[in-house]
Structure 1
Amino acid sequence: MPVSAAHVLMSADALGGVWPYTVDLAKGLGRSGFRVTVALMGPAPAPEIIAAAEAGTGARISITGLPLDWLADSAGSVTEAAEALARLAHEVAADLVHLHSPALAVAVFDVPVVAVCHSCVTTWWAACGSGPLPEDLAWRGALVARGCRTADALLAPTFAFAEATRAAYGLAEPPHVVRNGRRSSFHAAVGEPAQHAFTAGRLWDAGKNTALLDRVAARIRWPIRAAGPVEGPNGERLAAGHLRLLGRLDDAGIARELARRPVFVSLARYEPFGLAVLEAADAGCALVLSDIPTFRELWDGAALFVPPEEEAAASAIASLADEPGLRAALGAAARARASDYGVAAMVEGVSAVFRGLLAGQPARRLSEAAA
């Protein structure tokens, strides 16, 4: 069997950016000849979304009901979920497993395992918390550390986050970097851009720093529209008095918002990549971003960067409102940069890792995994 015809079992999380990443990657892998089964963990999206994803990717999507590592109530339940994935990989005769979290690599798989470092509690806490990891996060971080050491390959979407992961878990080497990508869905912009700012994402997540953006909205004449949930699965909640909340929008809804080319703002304190920023850039939106390492790596020269302060962020948005030429130039620069982060490059980067493992690098020995 050719390596490119291998069967890949991919785990997935439908609550955030892992889902569009999975859909785009599965479609690209299918076009490259791989067979893909997606093991969807945690809360599942609506049946019509699952059906559309299967039709669009050619992958089989299995709704497992297994708990997500970041929502699980104990280390044992994560380990059991990982073991269930290992059994599923055996049942479907997978040739390789692609995990959306290193925490799931703690089980013994009898095929090579690639784990993607999309985000993790340890690096999140380093950016958003203070002091030692709380007990409820510490055991999660310990599982990620174990998984990082047992996976056959680790991937990360940026060099900055790869290094943060290496430092957080004391790894000998950082994960291999494969940039995330998103399919382009916008044509050349026409007409005048919208006279407002926009943000999108998990608004409840402290890492997104949406509470600061809400305060910024009280200081500027432009409205700031915000798409995404304000309540998290563990009771987190954003109390916003100045943002114009749009609720959770589907892909078409987000596309309609971005097609108007508002100024896109993210004041995130923690963002390993930022698919929402990429989608906004692809639409030709001028970007105002927090000055964090991942954003600098991806968007330096194509965005306005601000420290996480009300006055600085408000001033940056106001400058784009007052200077349409600057806004147009930044929007064009963002769109040009977005072309560097396409799905084809992402699929080829991941496929190259798969080919290396399947063609020559043996899966780790069971005794090593057990140790």
Structure 2
Amino acid sequence: MPVRTVRLRVLMTADAVGGVWPYAVDLADGLSREGVEVTLALLGPPASDAQRAQAEAAGCRLIDTGLPLDWLAETPDAVLAAGEALARLAGLAGADLVHLHSPAFAAAGGFDVPVVAVCHSCVATWWWALEPGPLPPDLAWRRDLVALGCERADALLAPSAAFAAATAGAYGLPRQPTVVRNGRRTPAWPNSPDDAGHYPARYPAPFAFTAGRLWDRAKNVAALDRVAALSIMPVRAAGPTEGPHGERIRLIHLARLGPLDDAGVAAQLRERPVFVSLARYEPFGLAVLEAAQAGCALVLSDIPTFRELWDGAAVFVDPAETTAAAGILDALATDSDRHLDLGDAARAHAARYGMAAATAGVLRAFETVLTGRRLAVSLDGAAA
């Protein structure tokens, strides 16, 4: 077997508790296929055995750093120290470039190689999507670190144009982050069985499904709970109802499934239910993409991100209009042909958000900053 030439060495950060994990693992897999050697530095809680297996399958080296996540850290100094530790780790790994999952970790500086930071989400844009007033002190210092990190990173990426604009506005950036839309590896559906030998449903199941951090106010799951009380269509919800800072939501009418792993979510999606999200804030929404890839009909809140990504392939509803949302679900419950057509449209639309396009976009960003760094060094040498 020929030895693959290493094109580039990248230190990439990730966490194991949210959507950054599938983003990072899928991207690491895509990059490794292009000859990029990826060291995945995990912050926050350690990886599970299943996640370690995913990282190994993606061809990357996984390091549990024990460093805190920026949104879970207790002090600014903890985030700055984590950034400094990542800079040292990049040197030890021989990285040519660092790919951060939050600009906050670039705030301390100290990186000897270019830094590309992805704006997946942040407390400032999250807060202003939900509240009209100023950020509370505990969020304000986190915003300040992100702002400083945005200044010090060599390039910023965002998963949607809507979120790129929101980020630029929140931090007064001179230009918006480059848009590289997220992707997911397309599953082998609809024609292959799962590990248990079960084939995906040919016809959609008459229930609705949602997944994510149910405790997060931005997901607006309380409104979805009210929808479930009004609709004839059962609504299932997967995910935790308690957050790391004591956040908690009480759900009465949703059929709660608890936190599900990837296989558990896939089992729900293979039934091709209606996937519903009434989120008030969503920078991209990987759960929506996974549902669309499975051929689920999409009922989504009418917010800029979802309009940008799914216009023409989803039914949109005002996230505050629970009666209207319930009416949409009721209509789909009694019209299986419409349910099927919407699912087919979503699956076709999802093809544009594959990993090939996402990997290519990230590689272009890498090449741009590396070329700029080489040019800067060359000019500095000429001036000397």
> Scaled by the length of structure 2, what TM-score is found?
0.92
Alignment-derived partner of residue 61 in structure 1: 62
What is the identity percentage for the equivalent residue pairs of Structure 1 and Structure 2? 62
Distance 1:106 1:247, change over 3 A: same
Give distance in 2, aligned partners of 1:238 and 1:180.
29
Q: Which of 10, 19, 22 is residue 24 of structure 2 equivalent to?
A: 22
Alignment-mate amino acid for residue 173 of structure 2: L
Q: What's 2:299 paired with?
A: 288
Supply the distance in 1 between the matched residues of 2:238 and 2:275 (Cα, whole angstroms). Answer: 12
The answer as to 2:245 corresponding to 1:234 is yes
> Offset of 1:250 from its aligned partner?
0.9
Deviates more, 1:315-324 or 1:167-176: 315-324
Q: Does 1:203 align with 2:226?
A: no
Specify the SS of the correspondent of 2:373. Answer: coil
Deviations 1:310-336 (A, max 9, x none): 111111111211222221221111001
Match of 1:244 among 245, 255, 278: 255
Q: Which residue of 2 aligns with 1:335?
A: 347
Q: Structure 1 residue 187 and structure 2 residue 199: aligned? A: no
Map 1:1-80 → 2, pairs under 5 A: 5-46=7-48, 48-80=49-81
Deviation at 1:55, TM superposition (A): 2.1
Distance 1:259 1:197 in 2: 12
C-alpha distance in 2, partners of 1:346/1:14? 20
Say if 1:183 and 1:160 are closer, same or farther in 2 by CA, change over 3 A.
Answer: same
The question of whether the paired residues in 1 share the 8 Å contact of 2:232 and 2:333 is answered with: no
Any stretches of 5+ residues in structure 2 without a counterpart? 192-199, 378-384
Looking at structure 2, the residues matched to 66 and 143 of structure 1 have their Cα atoms a distance apart, in angstroms, of: 16
Counterpart Cα distance in 1 of 2:70 and 2:230: 39
Q: Distance in 1 between matches of 2:99 and 2:52?
A: 21
Residues in 2 aligned to 1:11 and 1:359: alpha-carbon distance in whole angstroms: 22
CA distance in 1 between counterparts of 2:330 and 2:211 reads: 20
Matched length: 363
1:3 CA drift (Å)? 10
In the superposition, the TM-score normalised over structure 1's length comes to 0.95
| 1:193 CA drift (Å) | 1.3
1:347 aligned to which of 359, 367, 371: 359
| Alignment pair present for 1:311 and 2:323 | yes
Distance 1:171 1:3, change over 3 A: farther
1:343 deviates by: 0.7
Q: Match of 2:90?
A: 89
* Among candidates 276, 284, 289, match of residue 287 of structure 2: 276
Counterpart of 2:40 in structure 1: which amino acid?
V
**SS of alignment partner, residue 171 of structure 1:** coil
Could you report, residue by residue, the CA deviation over 1:283-329 in whole angstroms, capped at 9, with x for unpaired residues?
A: 11110000000000000011000002211111111121122222122
The corresponding residue for 2:308 is 297
Post-superposition Cα deviations, 1:343-370, rounded to whole Å, max 9, x if no partner, equal: 11101110111122223434989xxxxx
- Given candidates 166, 169, 187, the residue that maps to 1:167 is 169
Q: Aligned equivalents of 1:351 and 1:4: distance in 2?
A: 14
Amino acid of the structure 1 residue aligned with 2:11: L
| Alpha-carbon distance in structure 2 between the residues aligned to 1:326 and 1:195 | 12
Structure 1: segments with no counterpart, 5+ residues? 366-371
Distance in structure 2 (CA, Å) of the matches to 1:271 and 1:362: 36
SS of corresponding position for 2:31? helix
Partner of 1:321: 333
- Aligned match of 2:273 in 259, 262, 267? 262
CA distance in 2, matches of 1:159, 1:113: 21
The Cα of 1:5 is off from its aligned counterpart by 1.5
The one-letter amino acid of 1:239's match is: R
Following TM superposition, the consecutive aligned residue runs of length 4 or more in structure 1 with deviations greater than 3 angstroms are 359-365
Amino acid of the structure 2 residue aligned with 1:284: G
Separation in 1, partners of 2:242, 2:252: 15
